[in-house]
C-alpha cells in the first residue's frame, strides 16, 4: 500500500511477554526454499544512515495514522533504499519464511533475493519510522515479534496486519497473544477474500471488541458502502484500498471525497 491518504481535506497519507509457537500455522502458500543471506555490515550501516539523514522520515508517537506516508513495497533492497530516501514515515513489509528463515517476501521468490527480517527490523527501528508488518504466514508471527521485542520498538510504531475469519485466518487466541505482547499497537483485521456482508461485519467487529486496543479494518474499494462503514465503525477505524484490476480509480481526489462523505478514516494507495 505505497501511500495512505487521510480522507480529511489537505492531509496526505496512507500502524512484552514471550509467546509460544504452538498453534501458529500457515496463512499463505508455502514459500520457496533456499538460503537467504544477511546484509553486510557496510550495506546495513549505509541503509540506516540514509534513513537517519532524511528529515521527513521519523514518525511522531501519538500522531494520527491517517496522516502517515506509508511506503508499501520495501521487501527488496532497492525498494527499501527508495523508501528510506523518499518522503515516507512508515515502511510496510510482507513477512513469510523461506527454508525456516524469516524473510521479507510477498510471493514465492528466490531465497537469494529475499531480505532477512532480522536486517529489515534493524534498519526500520534504527531510523525511527513506523513499521507495518503484513504477515503472510501465521508461523512467522511469533518469531517476528521476538525480533521486534529485541529491537525495543515502541508499540505505537507498529501496525500488525493479519487475516481473520474463514479458512487460514488468525484465531482469537492468536490475536489475544499478539495484543498481550503489543497492547498499544494497531492491529489490522483483514477479511480474507472479498466476502464482506452484514454477517462478516458483525463477526469482525465482535472479534475487534474481544481483542481490544487500537483496531483498523482494511477494506477493498469495491466492497465499501455506507452500511458497511456504519457497521465497522463500531469496532475500529476503516482504511480503503483498491485492486486496480477490480476497481480502478481514475481520479483519486474525487474518490477520497466520496469515501470521506461515507465516513471512511483513510485511503490506501488508490490507483
> Going from the N-terminus, what domains does the chain have, and what CATH number goes with each?
4-268 (3.20.20)
Can you give the pLDDT at residue 113? 66
Percent of the chain past pLDDT 70, that is, above it, reads 84
Of the pLDDT bands very low, low, confident and very high (cuts 50, 70, 90), residue 268 is confident
Evaluate if residue 2 carries a pLDDT over 50: no
Of the pLDDT bands very low, low, confident and very high (cuts 50, 70, 90), residue 3 is very low
Can you give the pLDDT at residue 167? 79
Per the model's pLDDT, the better-predicted residue between 180 and 70 turns out to be 180
Per the model's pLDDT, the better-predicted residue between 199 and 268 turns out to be 199
Q: How far apart are CA 38 and CA 114, in angstroms?
A: 9
Mean pLDDT of 90-119: 84
Determine the longest span between alpha carbons in the chain, in angstroms. 53
pTM: 0.83
CB 4 within 8 A of CB 12: no
Mean pLDDT comparison of 56-60, 176-180, 251-255, highest-scoring range: 176-180
Q: How far apart are CA 143 and CA 18, in angstroms?
A: 10
Segment 216-241, tens digit of pLDDT: 999 999 999 999 999 999 999 999 99
Percent of the chain past pLDDT 90, that is, above it, reads 53
Can you give the pLDDT at residue 87? 87
Evaluate if residue 184 carries a pLDDT over 90: yes
Neighbours of 11 (CB within 10 A): 13
Evaluate if residue 23 carries a pLDDT over 60: no
Report DSSP letters for 69-116, one per residue.
-EE---SSHHHHHHHHHSS-SEEEEEEEEETTEEEE-SS---GGGPEE
Nearest by Cα to 68 from 239, 228, 261: 239
Segment 42-92, tens digit of pLDDT: 888 999 898 888 877 788 898 888 888 888 889 988 899 999 998 898 999
Q: How far apart are CA 170 and CA 158, in angstroms?
A: 18
Evaluate if residue 178 carries a pLDDT over 80: yes
Q: How far apart are CA 95 and CA 117, in angstroms?
A: 8
Amino acid at each position: 500500500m505505497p501511500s495512505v491518504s487521510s480522507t480529511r481535506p489537505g492531509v496526505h497519507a496512507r500502524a512484552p511477554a514471550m509467546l509460544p509457537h504452538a498453534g501458529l500455522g500457515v496463512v499463505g502458500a508455502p514459500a520457496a526454499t533456499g538460503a537467504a543471506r544477511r546484509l553486510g555490515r557496510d550495506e546495513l550501516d549505509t541503509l540506516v544512515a540514509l534513513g537517519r539523514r532524511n528529515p521527513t522520515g521519523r514518525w511522531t508517537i501519538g500522531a494520527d495514522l491517517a496522516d502517515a506516508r506509508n511506503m508499501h513495497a520495501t521487501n527488496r533492497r532497492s525498494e527499501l533504499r527508495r523508501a528510506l530516501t523518499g518522503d515516507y514515515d512508515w515502511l510496510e513489509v510482507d513477512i513469510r519464511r523461506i527454508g525456516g528463515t524469516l524473510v521479507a517476501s510477498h510471493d514465492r521468490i528466490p531465497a537469494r533475493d529475499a531480505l532477512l527480517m532480522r536486517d529489515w527490523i534493524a534498519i526500520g527501528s534504527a531510523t525511527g519510522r513506523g513499521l507495518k508488518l503484513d504477515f503472510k504466514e501465521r508461523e512467522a508471527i511469533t518469531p517476528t515479534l521476538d525480533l521486534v521485542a529485541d529491537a525495543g520498538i515502541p508499540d505505537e510504531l507498529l501496525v500488525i496486519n493479519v487475516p481473520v475469519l474463514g479458512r487460514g485466518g488468525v484465531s482469537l487466541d492468536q490475536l489475544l497473544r499478539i495484543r498481550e505482547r503489543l497492547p498499544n499497537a494497531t492491529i489490522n483485521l483483514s477479511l480474507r477474500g472479498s466476502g464482506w456482508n452484514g454477517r462478516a461485519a458483525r463477526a469482525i467487529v465482535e472479534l475487534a471488541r474481544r481483542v481490544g486496543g487500537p483496531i483498523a479494518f482494511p477494506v477493498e474499494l469495491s466492497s465499501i458502502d455506507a452500511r458497511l462503514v456504519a457497521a465497522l465503525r463500531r469496532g475500529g477505524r476503516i482504511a480503503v484500498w483498491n485492486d486496480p484490476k477490480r476497481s480502478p480509480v481514475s481520479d483519486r481526489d474525487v474518490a477520497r471525497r466520496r469515501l470521506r462523505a461515507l465516513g471512511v478514516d483513510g485511503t490506501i494507495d488508490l490507483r
